Chain A
Amino acid sequence: GAGVSQSPRYKVAKRGQDVALRCDPISGHVSLFWYQQALGQGPEFLTYFQNEAQLDKSGLPSDRFFAERPEGSVSTLKIQRTQQEDSAVYLCASSLGWGRTASGNTIYFGEGSWLTVV
Chain B
Amino acid sequence: AQKITQTQPGMFVQEKEAVTLDCTYDTSDPSYGLFWYKQPSSGEMIFLIYQGSYDQQNATEGRYSLNFQKARKSANLVISASQLGDSAMYFCAMREGDGPARQLTFGSGTQLTVLP
Chain A positions within 8 Å of B, measured between CB atoms, are 30-31, 33, 41-45, 48, 50, 55-56, 59, 89, 91, 93, 95, 97-102, 105-112, 114
Report how far A107 CA is from B47 CA in the complex, Å.
8
B106 to chain A, nearest CB (A): 3
A100 and B109: CB pair below 8 A?
no
Q: Which of the residues A41, A95, A100 comes within 8 Å of B98, measured between beta carbons?
A: A100
Chain B residues within 8 Å of A42, by CB: 4, 91, 93, 106-109
Minimum CB distance partner of B59 in chain A: A102
A102 x B50 contact (CB < 8 A): yes
Per-position 1/0 for B85-116, Cβ under 8 A of A: 00000010101001011011111110000000
How close is B36's CB to chain A, nearest CB, in angstroms?
Answer: 11
Contact present for B45 and A55 (CB under 8 Å): no
Given A50-B101, A98-B100, A100-B52, are A108 and B47 neighbors across the interface (CB < 8 Å)?
yes
Give chain B interface residues in 24-77, CB to chain A under 8 Å. 31, 33, 35, 37, 42-47, 50, 52, 54, 59
Nearest A residue to B37 by beta-carbon distance? A109
Of the candidates B42, B47, B91, B103, the one whose C-beta lies within 8 Å of that of A111 is B42
Chain A residues in 8 Å Cβ range of B93: 42
Q: How far is the CA of A109 from the CA of B36 in the complex (A)?
A: 12
List residues of chain B with CB within 8 A of the CB of A111: 42-44
CB distance from A112 to the nearest CB of B (A): 5
